[in-house]
């Protein structure tokens, strides 16, 4: 018996290991793996589903908003019958977060947390103490400015910037529990976050101008951080694996560590993140086998595989935590990922979210490129959401 599993290419190294473990446990089921380039993945899945799903039995998503969209299209098989299984007992609380219309349609198998990455050598050279959980975003901007110097190709930046349509600036709103631009009150918080990010670049001169970061030049954050010309960046847990691979396998010299994200004045330290979710196509012709595989991907056995690859799991058992800390020894403060900070959801369970956030990205991109003002950008966002999102 064969089932077809679809996923994006970034996941292939560790999903290969998960599939091997599943097939060893279920020798009568073969999993045919189909990996799609990350930039094309969402569109590929939508095309598959619009044509009945073809031979796609099980597939993954890296966004709960996509999960909500698939639910609204009635293309997912409810998984209530196995959601309470013994194999998923330690993942139950997280699974419940994804309950929609009183049903479970997907299982979270991997999670993420954002932290602050910093170059220890650059801090040492400037005589500035390392970031800690007392830092505010005002302090971040102050230090980022202090660590910026030079000009032209030799310019040193205190903070990392990305391409103009990036998602990173929204983390500044997400950590305040704000993630949905379709809610007018939340859009105001997005506006303040965009202004802070803009000021880091143009007021404080602490980030590379967005006009210089088109395409790969903006998305390749790891190379710029590894070059030692950027002192700080906020990023997700996945960056640890990317940086460590370069250090361990390619001889790159980088002395870095991590700290909790700064907090807004008067607030507690929080972080943000999202879930990767495994789902079953309602049209699967191998339903029992497909459900068995989905259950395994979200199980503790698979969780240990993920954390041994430096990833985070929604499983909170001591065994999973220990496996993570045993497998990831760099950076020194890797335990920050296990600290009990509140994790604010980065993406809402709203099927219209993708439409709304696309408008936000388009208009704020022009703002970051200095082609329109902050007020113009957010007025257009309000007008376009009212007109286009439906």
Residue 175 and residue 292: Cα distance in Å, rounded? Answer: 35
Q: Are residues 169 and 59 in the same domain?
A: no
Residues 220 and 135 occupy one common structural domain: yes
Place of tokens 């999960």: 67
Residues 120 and 174 in one domain: yes
Are 257 and 296 members of one domain? no
Contacts of 179 (CB under 8 A, 6+ apart): 170, 173, 186, 272, 344, 345, 346, 347, 348
Does 294 map to a domain?
A: yes
Look at residue 87 and tell me if it is in a domain.
yes
CB 234 within 8 A of CB 171: yes
Q: What is the pLDDT along the chain (390 residues), one digit of tens a residue?
A: 999 999 999 899 999 999 999 999 999 999 999 999 988 899 999 998 888 767 899 999 988 889 999 999 999 999 999 999 999 999 888 898 899 889 999 999 999 999 999 999 999 999 999 999 999 999 999 999 999 999 988 899 999 998 888 889 999 999 999 999 999 999 999 999 999 999 999 999 999 999 888 765 556 778 889 999 999 999 998 888 889 988 988 989 999 999 999 999 999 999 998 899 999 999 999 999 999 999 999 999 999 999 998 889 989 888 998 898 888 888 999 989 988 778 888 888 888 998 999 999 999 999 999 999 999 999 999 999 999 998
Structure tokens at 353: 């979210």
DSSP string, 307-336: HHTT-B-S---HHHHHHHHHH---STTGGG
Handedness of CA 12, 13, 14, 17 (dihedral sign): positive
Domain identity same for 298 and 213: no
Q: Which runs of consecutive H residues, i.e. helices, occur in the chain?
A: 12-25, 38-50, 64-72, 80-83, 92-97, 120-126, 137-146, 171-174, 184-202, 216-219, 221-226, 238-249, 287-297, 300-308, 318-327, 353-368, 374-388
pLDDT of res. 224: 84
Helix (H) or strand (E) holding 158: strand 157-159
Residue 54's SS3 state is: coil
In this structure, is residue 336 part of a structural domain?
Answer: no
Alpha-helix residue ranges (DSSP H) falling in 73-179: 80-83, 92-97, 120-126, 137-146, 171-174
Supply the pLDDT for residue 104: 97
- The predicted pLDDT at position 245 comes to 87
pLDDT at 50: 86
What per-residue confidence (pLDDT) applies to 34? 97
Q: Is residue 281 part of a domain?
A: yes
Q: How many CB atoms lie within 10 A of CB 380?
A: 17
Joined together, the tokens standing for residue 315 give 């499983």
Predicted pLDDT of residue 120: 98
In this structure, the answer to whether residues 56 and 175 fall within a common structural domain is no
Instruction: For residues 44 and 172, state if they share a domain.
Output: no
Same domain, 299 and 374: no
Q: Looking at the domain assignment, is residue 102 inside a domain?
A: yes
pLDDT score at 206? 98
Pair 171, 294 in one domain: no
End-to-end CA distance of the chain: give it in Å, rounded.
41
Domain, as residue range, for 13: 2-112+274-316
143 assigned to some structural domain: yes
pLDDT of residue 166: 83
User: Does 78 reside within a domain?
Assistant: yes
Asked whether residue 132 falls in the same domain as residue 260, the answer is yes
* Residue at token pair 């690859």: 309
Q: How far apart are CA 46 and CA 20, in angstroms?
A: 27
Rg (CA), the chain: 21
Residue 188 shares a structural domain with residue 210: yes
Q: At what angle do helices 137-146 and 184-202 cross, to 10 degrees?
A: 20
Q: Residue 199 is part of a domain; what is its CATH number?
A: 3.40.190.10
User: What is the C-alpha separation between 306 and 312, in angstroms, rounded?
Assistant: 7
Our count of domains for the chain comes to 2
pLDDT score of 215: 66
Q: Which two tokens stand for residue 100?
A: 């929609």
In a domain, 326, yes or no: no
**Structure confidence at residue 329 (pLDDT):** 83
What confidence score (pLDDT) does residue 55 get?
86
**Domain edge (last residue) among 263, 293, 316:** 316
Residue 216 confidence (pLDDT): 59
| Burial class of residue 352 (count of CB atoms within 10 Å of its CB; 0-12, 13-18, 19+) | middle
Whether residue 160 sits in one domain with residue 237: yes
């Amino acid at each position: 018996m064969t089932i077809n599993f679809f996923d994006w290419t970034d996941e292939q190294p560790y999903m290969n290991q998960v599939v091997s473990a599943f097939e060893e446990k279920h020798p009568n089921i073969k999993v045919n793996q189909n990996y799609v380039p990350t930039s094309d993945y969402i569109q590929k899945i939508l095309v598959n589903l619009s044509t009945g799903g073809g031979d796609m039995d099980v597939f993954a998503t890296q966004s709960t908003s996509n999960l909500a969209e698939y639910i609204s299209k009635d293309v997912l098989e409810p998984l209530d019958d196995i959601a309470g299984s013994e194999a998923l007992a330690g993942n139950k609380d997280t699974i419940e977060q994804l309950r929609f219309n009183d049903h479970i349609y997907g299982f979270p198998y991997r999670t993420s947390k954002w932290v602050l990455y910093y170059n220890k050598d650059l801090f040492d050279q400037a005589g500035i103490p390392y970031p800690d959980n007392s830092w505010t975003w005002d302090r971040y901007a102050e230090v980022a400015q202090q660590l910026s110097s030079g000009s032209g190709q030799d310019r040193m930046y205190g903070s990392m910037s990305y391409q103009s349509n990036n998602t990173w600036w929204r983390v500044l709103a997400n950590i305040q529990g704000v993630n949905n631009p379709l809610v007018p009150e939340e859009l105001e918080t997005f506006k303040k976050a965009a202004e802070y990010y803009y000021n880091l670049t143009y007021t404080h001169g602490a980030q590379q101008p967005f006009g210089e970061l088109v395409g790969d030049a903006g998305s390749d954050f790891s190379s710029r951080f590894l070059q030692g010309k950027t002192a700080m960046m906020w990023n997700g847990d996945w960056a640890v694996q990317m940086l460590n691979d370069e250090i361990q396998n390619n001889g790159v010299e980088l002395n870095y560590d991590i700290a909790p994200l700064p907090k807004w004045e008067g607030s507690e330290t929080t972080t943000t993140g999202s879930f990767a979710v495994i789902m079953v196509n309602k049209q699967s012709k191998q339903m029992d086998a497909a459900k068995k595989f989905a259950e395994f991907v979200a199980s503790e056995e698979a969780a240990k595989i993920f954390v041994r690859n430096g990833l985070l799991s929604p499983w909170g058992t001591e065994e999973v935590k220990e496996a993570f800390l045993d497998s990831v020894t760099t950076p020194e403060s890797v335990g920050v990922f296990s600290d009990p900070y509140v994790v604010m959801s980065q993406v809402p369970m709203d099927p219209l979210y993708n439409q709304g956030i696309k408008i936000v990205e388009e208009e704020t991109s022009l703002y970051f490129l200095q082609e329109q003002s902050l007020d113009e950008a957010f007025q257009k966002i309000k007008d376009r959401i009212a007109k286009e999102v439906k």
